């Protein structure tokens, strides 16, 4: 199923091979919270590959284009809050010539995985994640690739928002930082060797 693309300018020149979207909330209040591990991953990838995310005129996102192996990869952070993430993603798909869900990778926090775990997955449900729900609404598919970073469930199921938006204790933060490194490695593997290779190499990793 082709991705629905927004009203961004159509791509001029060679299309990108992959678009990697990190999910999170903008602003200092939310930096390095559990909900922002997607931002952390994309920012790490930009740094590794000598680039920096910058504003995109007329689109609610920061973005940059890097080379990972021979692949042209667009790194994206929406500048809306999490529940409107798709507003910035849709237009960028058209601008960078992305029309296959397999070319869209979304990195996000995952309550159903414990801290220290991450998994690469293709398609599936949204598990109540507002960022994924917004991307589905704007792109009209759930068949994109996900890099799911475990943040664990709160002791009180009714306090999920507090759990993902609070600052993380130092011990858990060191675990999350290590998993973010693995998530960035997994994205690089997807770009170079494909999704199946990334699943095989990274889905069994446990950081303690």
Distance CA(149)–CA(187), nearest Å, equals: 12
| Helix H or strand E encompassing 171 | helix 170-193
3-state secondary structure at position 153 = coil
Residues in the chain: 208
List 35, 96, 138, 182, catalytic entry: 35
Distances in whole angstroms, Cα of residue 69 to Cα of each of 17, 49, 188: 11, 10, 8
For tokens 């709160």, name the residue: 154
**Cβ(82)–Cβ(118) under 8 Å?**
no
Residue 35 appears among annotated catalytic residues: yes
Catalytically active residues, by annotation:
35
């Amino acid at each position: 199923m082709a991705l629905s693309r927004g009203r961004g300018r159509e791509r001029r020149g060679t299309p990108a091979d992959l678009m990697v979207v990190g999910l999170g909330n903008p602003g200092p209040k939310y930096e390095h919270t559990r909900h922002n591990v997607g931002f952390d991953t994309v920012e790490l990838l930009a740094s590794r590959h000598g680039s920096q995310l910058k504003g995109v005129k007329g689109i609610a996102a920061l973005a940059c284009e890097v080379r990972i192996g021979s692949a042209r990869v667009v790194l994206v952070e929406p500048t809306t809050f999490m529940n409107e993430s798709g507003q910035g993603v849709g237009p960028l798909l058209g601008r960078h010539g992305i029309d296959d869900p397999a070319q869209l990778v979304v990195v996000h926090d995952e309550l159903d995985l414990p801290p220290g775990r991450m998994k690469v997955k293709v398609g599936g449900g949204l598990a109540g994640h507002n960022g994924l729900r917004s991307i589905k609404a704007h792109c009209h598919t759930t068949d994109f690739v996900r890099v799911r970073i475990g943040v664990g469930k709160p002791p009180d199921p009714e306090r999920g928002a507090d759990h993902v938006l609070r600052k993380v204790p130092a011990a858990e933060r060191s675990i999350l930082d290590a998993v973010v490194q693995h998530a960035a490695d997994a994205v690089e593997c997807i770009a170079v060797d494909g999704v199946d290779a990334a699943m095989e190499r990274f889905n069994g990793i446990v950081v303690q």
